[in-house]
Amino acid sequence: MATSTGILPSLVTGGAVVYRDAAGVALNPVDVTNAYAPPPTFISTCELTALPTTCEARIEPGQINAIVSELIALAECFDPNGPWNCASVQNLCTAFTWWAANGQHINVQPPELAGDGSAADPVRLVEVDGGEYF
């Protein structure tokens, strides 16, 4: 049995449709609904595939496992030490909340200007605050 690579449905098994090509062009096939095609500036190393609305669609165990793995990997990216609560459906929210409170933040203050802009009192930069980095 052929397996999918990553979370995208496999073209090899015949149950998938390409909806965004490798160049980033959204193909908008009529038999694919609710598939998000990121803009061409979003780089992908492969064509993006989706399951069609026809009876040829095939969800494989490897694809479901890859989706779950992507979610766990995202949670780990936010909070490298976890936890992952197997009885919860809010693990990503918990991990993101931890990251928002503990992650690296940069607070840059805008420069302070003086002067009214007239020829006698031109606008000028009087102070630059580099902000806080933590």
**Residue keyed to tokens 């998000």:** 36
Domain co-membership, 3 together with 55: yes
**What domain range includes position 47?**
1-59
Same domain (yes/no): 11, 49: yes
Judgement on whether residues 73 and 88 belong to the same structural domain of the protein:
yes
Q: Both 18 and 65 in a single domain?
A: no
| 44-65 burial: b if 16+ Cβ within 10 Å, else e | eeebbbbbbeeeebeebebbee
Domains: count for the chain: 3
Query: Where is average pLDDT lowest: 15-29, 86-100, 110-124?
Result: 110-124
The answer on 70 and 22 residing in a single domain is no
Question: So what's the pLDDT on residue 129?
Answer: 61
* Same domain (yes/no): 1, 51: yes
Give per-residue pLDDT as tens, 19-62: 999 999 999 999 999 999 999 999 999 999 999 998 888 888 88
Residues 78, 37 within the same domain: no
User: What is the structure's pLDDT at 133?
Assistant: 52
Does position 113 have pLDDT exceeding 80, yes or no? no
Q: Are residues 113 and 96 in the same domain?
A: no
Residue 11 and residue 41 in one domain: yes
Do 23 and 68 lie in one domain? The reply is: no
* Helix, strand, coil shares, percent, the chain, to 5: 20, 15, 65
Residue 76 and residue 46 in one domain:
no
Closest C-alpha among 75, 69, 16 to residue 47:
16
